[in-house]
Amino acid sequence: MKESRNTYLLTLLALLFFSNAYAKNENQQTSKNDKHYNLMEQDDEEEVINPLKQKELPTVSAIQQPLIKPPIKFIKEDLEVTFGGKIKVEYDNYLNNFYLNKNVPDDISYFKQTIDFNVNAVFGEKKCGHKVVEAYADLRMKNKWGVVGAYKNTTNTELFLSGISLGEHSHNASRPNPWFKDAWLKLSLNKAINSKNDKIQYFKLGWFPFQLGRGVVFGPFYASVYEGLGLFSYNADSSAPGININGELIKDKLWYDLYYAKFEDNSSSISQTFSNTVKLNHVGKRSAPYRGVAKDDELWAARLMAIPVNNDDFGKINLEPYVYFNEASDQKVEVSSDTKTQLGAVGLEARYSKNKFKIGGEVAVNYGQEKLYSIDRNSIQLSVVKTDGEIPVSSANILDETNNERGAGMLYKGYSHVVINSAGTDLDGKSAPINTASTGAAYNSTYLQRDAVTPYPDAGTDLNKLLNRSTRIRPEYRNKFKGWMGILDARYKINKSFKIATEFGFASGDNDPNIEEVNKNYKGFVGLHEIYMGKRVFAPQLLGERNIPRILGLLPGQREVEDNFRAKTNNTFSDIIYFGFGANWQPENLRKNRFKINPNVMLFWKDDESYKYVLDSADPESGHVSSTDKAGSYLGTEFSVIFNYELIEDLTLGGIASLFVPGSYYKDIKGVPLKDDFYRDKIPSDARTGVDPANYRISDDVAFYGVVSLEYRF
């Protein structure tokens, strides 16, 4: 049923795309770290003719003007240097955004300040008729008031204590130092080879934003948040480093882009390629556990931008077919470097406009695969014998780390996937201790595939026989990417002051791809570095901020205690269906103040089916996913209003207010535990009596997001 529905939706979108043409892409989006986006459309008079130039326009927030005004210039002969920037102070508030639960302090608010200083240098335009050399830099400093260094983090690094992994860790900056968000250099290939051709070709390299289509398939945000897949995530509030060759093929008709980016380099030092043991847990790699060379994260992309028709009688058509491929070695699903991702997409964006009417859309399909290597999950762990967190003080409750005798008052140090087979004792089922017998047995390749029933031979005394857990060895398997997405929107200009719009979007979904460790197709759509929140109708809370948790489909029968079940989240543009209406009002008498107000309403559904979560407050230990009852697919509705008003020239007041009303889906999964569950991980076991876990978990209360901003541009 689900596959036939997906086929129907894909066919419907394809028919709509190819029976109509599409409208000009008018709005660009800025980094998610800016929290706001360029939601307001440009006026028709501001249409940009050159698609390449359009893609490179500096973008601003939802509550600001669509173009940066650069009044400060320095000109000497054929060199022109432009200076500009902004100072923005804003107040943000989030209520019930993270848990949809009014019973806990799910409420944060803060002031934030952003300072940008831009410099753009252009040489050769007067003499050659086009830009021969151009250099651009955006120096940024951003911080929350009272929170030092909140926005510039170090990359995640895995920490070890005596060979025991303590997980990954990163640091905030010690003080709010400025950094370059963008810094790039562009030169004319025509001038470099002394070509007189009037179709200019450019070569560009450095840190700069780049996107395909609307930025849903591939966007400029250098970050990806997906709990179930091994996708590199780097939240630096800066553009990715890359190289771009672009230019014109047919005068005023056809342009192209060839793009390369390196998101992560793992070959920049000998410690990365050789002097490491990042693959020590790979089956068969214990004698050669180093990474090796060329294990980087790189992307190649190409697109065409065409205007096949542009006349008063028919209107204007824009087409953008594109393709990209991302190869990322040494990614992480469970442990460092346990996955290789080969992700790609092929798509088409199309737009049509005539007079007061515009329509547009985009379709794309994923291809490629995620390869998960065979790994030995066994690892040294720190824990205590008592599972309630109490450090044991009796010598009868703990093993010494060097032999089989009981010790006193020590932290238990053992192997996580080799257990002690001592029925009837307090050691039965506990992780094996580190001693001479267990060390040799645990890492002897002869026993890697040993079943979970037969004890190791020579594994110690009768009270200390060792068994493999059934989950010790993860087999090698592949998830093939088979997701797809489609968006369709339309806008009608009623008069010079008022426009109405509608938008429909679909992105296929799937459940956790790592539940079944077998080769399979992953049907969820995967976008890379995207933060799409609508083109003509906007959802600044659910699709913009993305703090509201969207849970991967729950599979029947999963149990909270016995299976140590924790639901996973996926807040990307995936597993979602939406439909909405919006309006854009710019009163004639306030046009000089560039006042705009944009109300929106958007309804959301989940594509992939999920089962209900059953939580009995009187018996929290029995929490489980239902084996029969399916959860509703309706996620909820978001109501939002966006406005901006220029108080005086270049000083703008703006704001966003949004309410999200959860639907039947959240009612049906209410109380499901997530990673870092507060009830299990924060409340001591002896304090849980009479406590309802639902009061500390995902609920179905209304969420609010709001921001007020004052920004000056110079």
Q: Per residue in 114-144, pLDDT tens?
A: 999 999 999 998 889 899 999 999 999 988 9
Least confident of 93-107, 323-337, 451-465, 659-673: 451-465
Among 419, 454, 471, which residue terminates a domain? Answer: 471
Dig out the tokens for 650 from the structure: 């270049």
Whether 333 and 464 share a structural domain: no
Asked if pLDDT for residue 41 goes beyond 70, the answer is no
Q: What is the dihedral of CA 437, 443, 444, 446, to 10 degrees?
A: 120
Whether 222 and 354 share a structural domain: yes
Whether 445 and 589 share a structural domain: no
Whether 322 and 403 share a structural domain: no
Whether 416 and 505 share a structural domain: no
If phi > 0 it is left, if psi is from -120 to 50 it is alpha, else beta; for residue 397 that is alpha
Asked if pLDDT for residue 54 goes beyond 50, the answer is no
Asked if pLDDT for residue 482 goes beyond 90, the answer is yes
Written as one string, the DSSP assignment of 529-563 is S-----SSS--IIIIII--S--BPPPPTT-BTTTT
Please say whether the dihedral angle defined by the alpha carbons of residues 335, 378, 375 and 556, taken in this order, is positive or negative: negative
Is the residue at 425 inside a domain? yes
Is the residue at 1 inside a domain? no
d(CA 33, CA 128) in angstroms, rounded, equals 39
Whether 492 and 465 share a structural domain: no
Q: What residues make up the domain containing 99?
A: 6-376+477-713
Whether 80 and 115 share a structural domain: yes
Is the residue at 276 inside a domain? yes
Q: How many domains does the chain have?
A: 2
CB atoms within 10 A of CB 323: 17
Whether 258 and 372 share a structural domain: yes
Whether 315 and 385 share a structural domain: no
Is the residue at 617 inside a domain? yes
Asked if pLDDT for residue 43 goes beyond 60, the answer is no
Sheet strands (E) in 170-294: 179-188, 201-207, 241-250, 254-264
d(CA 91, CA 139) in angstroms, rounded, equals 22
Whether 384 and 328 share a structural domain: no
Dig out the tokens for 25 from the structure: 């892409």
**pLDDT bracket for residue 437 (50, 70, 90):** low
Is the residue at 543 inside a domain? yes
| 192, amino acid identity | A
**pLDDT bracket for residue 44 (50, 70, 90):** very low
Residue with tokens 């399909």: 365
pLDDT at 165: 64
Among 420, 439, 471, which residue terminates a domain? Answer: 471
Check if the beta carbon of residue 123 is closer than 8 Å to that of residue 151.
no
* Tens-digit pLDDT profile for residues 400-421: 444 444 433 345 567 888 888 7
Among 428, 443, 471, which residue terminates a domain? Answer: 471
How big is the chain, counted in residues? Answer: 714
Q: Is 504 strand, coil or helix?
A: strand
Asked if pLDDT for residue 233 goes beyond 60, the answer is yes
Q: Find the CATH number of the domain harbouring 306.
A: 2.40.160.100
Dig out the tokens for 143 from the structure: 């911080």
Asked if pLDDT for residue 29 goes beyond 50, the answer is no
pLDDT at 467: 85
The contacts of residue 270 (CB under 8 Å, 6+ apart) are: none
